[in-house]
Amino acid sequence: MPRIISANLNGIRSAHKKGFFNWLAKQDADFICVQELKCQLADMTEEFLAPHGYHGHFHYAEKKGYSGTGVYSRTKPDAFKIGFGCTEFDNEGRYTRVDVGDLTVISLYAPSGSSSPERQEAKFRFMEVFLPHLVELQAEGREIVVCGDWNIAHKEIDLKNWKGNLKNSGFLPEERAWMTRIFDELGLVDVHRGIDQRPEQYTWWSNRGQAYAKNVGWRIDYHVATPGIASKAHAVSVYKDERFSDHAPLIIDYKP
């Protein structure tokens, strides 16, 4: 029963202090995709690199204290890849891929456009180059799960205050249409939503106000998968009993 977890850590050192790796030891996961490492290789302790016997592979941003992704796998990967071939975003550490058998698991940290118009333009550039990459991935004929923080809430059900965010990054019409293309044109699957249609299944909450206490959140963390592996998903949960970050881990169990 493969278990795949996606977790934006908002700083691996911070998440460690909040007990993330102690929690991880109890999860019996096969893959853990992490985002926002906010560190360089020199900052990575042995516990960060290979916790509890996992094999870790990481993509660090050139800019210190920024971005970064990684994948922990129970089984040593047959192959791994850092970056997806676009210099602008590979320099930001946004993509880590591992292959185990016929399964590819990718940790993705898509850009946020909320900090400035310039960053929103960067986000649009990312969208333009990443969609063709997803097509290339599909052409490999492997089962694929792209886990991570996509920084887009796809539909109204995916954020609390959707009416107030129609003109805000993360819920712009262009962003939502791009996600729709991934699911409707490319045929990839939003695994979480495929097996849990309930509202208020959020994975991120602003630190402002009492967003977390009031569950005023966004669902921006996903497992986006090829139909074969997606059809094997049978249980999903958003872990909220402890807080390691402003995101909550998304856990999905797949049948063998």
Catalytic residues: 149
Tokens of 91: 């320099």
Coil, helix or strand for 216? Answer: coil
Q: How far apart are CA 71 and CA 91, in angstroms?
A: 18
- Residues forming beta bridges with residue 106, ordered by sequence position: 97, 146
Q: How many angstroms from the chain centroid is the CA of residue 188? A: 15
* Cβ pair 241, 226 in contact under 8 A: no
Closest C-alpha among 149, 158, 150, 156 to residue 219: 158
Taking the alpha carbons at both ends of the chain, their separation in whole angstroms is 5
The answer for residues whose C-beta is within 8 angstroms of residue 216's C-beta and 6 or more apart is: 160, 161, 205, 206, 209, 210
* Cβ pair 73, 146 in contact under 8 A: no
